[in-house]
Protein backbone atom coordinates (compact mmCIF):
# COMPACT_ATOMS: atom_id res chain seq x y z
CA UNK A 1 0.00 0.00 0.00
CA UNK A 2 1.17 3.49 -0.77
CA UNK A 3 1.74 5.88 2.11
CA UNK A 4 1.36 9.13 0.28
CA UNK A 5 3.80 9.02 -2.60
CA UNK A 6 6.64 6.75 -1.53
CA UNK A 7 5.55 3.12 -1.93
CA UNK A 8 6.70 0.66 0.69
CA UNK A 9 8.35 3.18 3.00
CA UNK A 10 8.33 2.68 6.75
CA UNK A 11 5.69 4.72 8.55
CA UNK A 12 6.15 6.31 11.95
CA UNK A 13 3.30 6.75 14.47
CA UNK A 14 1.99 10.16 13.48
CA UNK A 15 1.70 9.47 9.76
CA UNK A 16 -1.82 8.87 8.51
CA UNK A 17 -2.99 8.27 12.07
CA UNK A 18 -1.60 4.76 11.61
CA UNK A 19 -1.85 2.15 14.31
CA UNK A 20 0.08 -0.50 12.35
CA UNK A 21 3.39 1.23 11.79
CA UNK A 22 5.30 -1.70 10.34
CA UNK A 23 8.39 -3.49 11.52
CA UNK A 24 9.94 -1.98 14.68
CA UNK A 25 13.34 -3.38 13.66
CA UNK A 26 13.15 -1.48 10.37
CA UNK A 27 12.17 1.74 12.15
CA UNK A 28 14.97 1.23 14.66
CA UNK A 29 17.52 0.64 11.88
CA UNK A 30 16.49 3.84 10.11
CA UNK A 31 16.84 5.89 13.27
CA UNK A 32 20.18 4.29 14.16
CA UNK A 33 21.51 5.00 10.68
CA UNK A 34 20.46 8.61 11.01
CA UNK A 35 22.29 8.91 14.33
CA UNK A 36 25.37 7.23 12.88
CA UNK A 37 25.41 9.75 10.05
CA UNK A 38 25.34 12.75 12.40
CA UNK A 39 28.88 13.67 11.37
CA UNK A 40 27.69 14.14 7.79
CA UNK A 41 24.84 16.48 8.68
CA UNK A 42 25.06 20.15 7.83
CA UNK A 43 23.59 23.07 9.75
CA UNK A 44 20.75 23.10 7.23
CA UNK A 45 19.90 19.46 8.10
CA UNK A 46 19.71 19.93 11.86
CA UNK A 47 16.14 21.26 12.25
CA UNK A 48 14.67 18.56 10.01
CA UNK A 49 16.63 15.73 11.62
CA UNK A 50 15.95 17.00 15.14
CA UNK A 51 12.23 17.33 14.40
CA UNK A 52 12.15 13.81 13.00
CA UNK A 53 13.95 12.38 16.04
CA UNK A 54 11.61 14.31 18.32
CA UNK A 55 8.61 12.71 16.61
CA UNK A 56 10.16 9.26 16.80
CA UNK A 57 10.37 9.62 20.59
CA UNK A 58 6.61 9.00 20.46
CA UNK A 59 7.06 5.58 18.84
CA UNK A 60 5.22 2.73 20.53
CA UNK A 61 8.32 0.50 20.70
CA UNK A 62 11.00 1.16 23.31
CA UNK A 63 13.97 0.12 21.10
CA UNK A 64 12.90 2.67 18.50
CA UNK A 65 12.57 5.41 21.15
CA UNK A 66 15.96 4.41 22.56
CA UNK A 67 17.53 4.67 19.09
CA UNK A 68 15.98 8.13 18.71
CA UNK A 69 17.46 9.25 22.04
CA UNK A 70 20.87 7.89 21.07
CA UNK A 71 20.63 9.51 17.64
CA UNK A 72 19.62 12.81 19.20
CA UNK A 73 22.56 12.64 21.59
CA UNK A 74 24.91 11.94 18.66
CA UNK A 75 23.56 14.98 16.80
CA UNK A 76 23.91 17.17 19.90
CA UNK A 77 27.42 15.90 20.65
CA UNK A 78 28.50 16.53 17.07
CA UNK A 79 26.72 19.85 16.42
CA UNK A 80 25.39 21.16 19.73
CA UNK A 81 28.23 23.51 20.62
CA UNK A 82 28.14 25.29 17.27
CA UNK A 83 24.39 25.23 16.70
CA UNK A 84 22.86 25.35 20.16
CA UNK A 85 20.29 28.03 19.27
CA UNK A 86 19.14 26.16 16.18
CA UNK A 87 18.72 22.89 18.09
CA UNK A 88 17.04 24.53 21.08
CA UNK A 89 14.51 26.16 18.77
CA UNK A 90 13.25 22.72 17.71
CA UNK A 91 12.77 21.47 21.27
CA UNK A 92 11.37 24.74 22.59
CA UNK A 93 8.98 24.81 19.65
CA UNK A 94 7.64 21.41 20.64
CA UNK A 95 7.00 22.49 24.22
CA UNK A 96 5.53 25.84 23.11
CA UNK A 97 3.06 24.03 20.81
CA UNK A 98 2.20 21.64 23.62
CA UNK A 99 1.53 24.52 26.00
CA UNK A 100 -0.63 26.38 23.43
CA UNK A 101 -2.74 23.28 22.83
CA UNK A 102 -3.17 22.54 26.52
CA UNK A 103 -0.78 19.60 26.53
CA UNK A 104 -2.27 18.01 23.44
CA UNK A 105 0.33 16.70 21.01
CA UNK A 106 -1.68 16.25 17.84
CA UNK A 107 -2.21 12.58 17.08
CA UNK A 108 -0.13 11.36 20.01
CA UNK A 109 -1.68 9.51 22.90
CA UNK A 110 -0.87 10.71 26.40
CA UNK A 111 1.63 7.85 26.77
CA UNK A 112 3.37 8.82 23.53
CA UNK A 113 3.46 12.48 24.58
CA UNK A 114 4.99 11.40 27.92
CA UNK A 115 7.63 9.40 26.05
CA UNK A 116 8.51 12.46 23.98
CA UNK A 117 8.79 14.67 27.08
CA UNK A 118 10.99 12.10 28.81
CA UNK A 119 13.18 11.72 25.73
CA UNK A 120 13.76 15.43 25.36
Q: Outline where 1-109 has alpha helix (H).
A: 24-36, 46-56, 62-79, 84-100
- pLDDT tens-digit readout, 59-94: 989 999 999 999 999 999 999 899 999 888 888 888
Residue 102 DSSP symbol: T
Task: Give CA angle at 120 (104, 95), nearest 5°.
Answer: 35
What pLDDT is stored for residue 96 in this prediction?
82
- Lowest model confidence (mean pLDDT) among 12-21, 29-38, 72-81: 12-21
Please check the confidence at residue 102 and state whether its pLDDT lies above 90: no
45 against 99, higher pLDDT:
45
**b/e per residue 99-119 (b: at least 16 CB within 10 A):** eeeeeebeebeeebbebbeeb
What pLDDT is stored for residue 3 in this prediction?
41
Report the alpha-carbon distance of residue 53 to residue 76 in Å, rounded: 12
Please check the confidence at residue 18 and state whether its pLDDT lies above 70: no
Q: Whole-prediction pTM value? A: 0.71
Q: How far, in whole angstroms, is CA 66 from its chain's centroid? A: 11
Report the alpha-carbon distance of residue 119 to residue 71 in Å, rounded: 11
Amino acid sequence: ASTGGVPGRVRFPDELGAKDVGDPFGRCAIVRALGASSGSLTAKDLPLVSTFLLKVLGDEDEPVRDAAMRGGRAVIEMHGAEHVQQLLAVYEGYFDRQQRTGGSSGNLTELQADNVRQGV
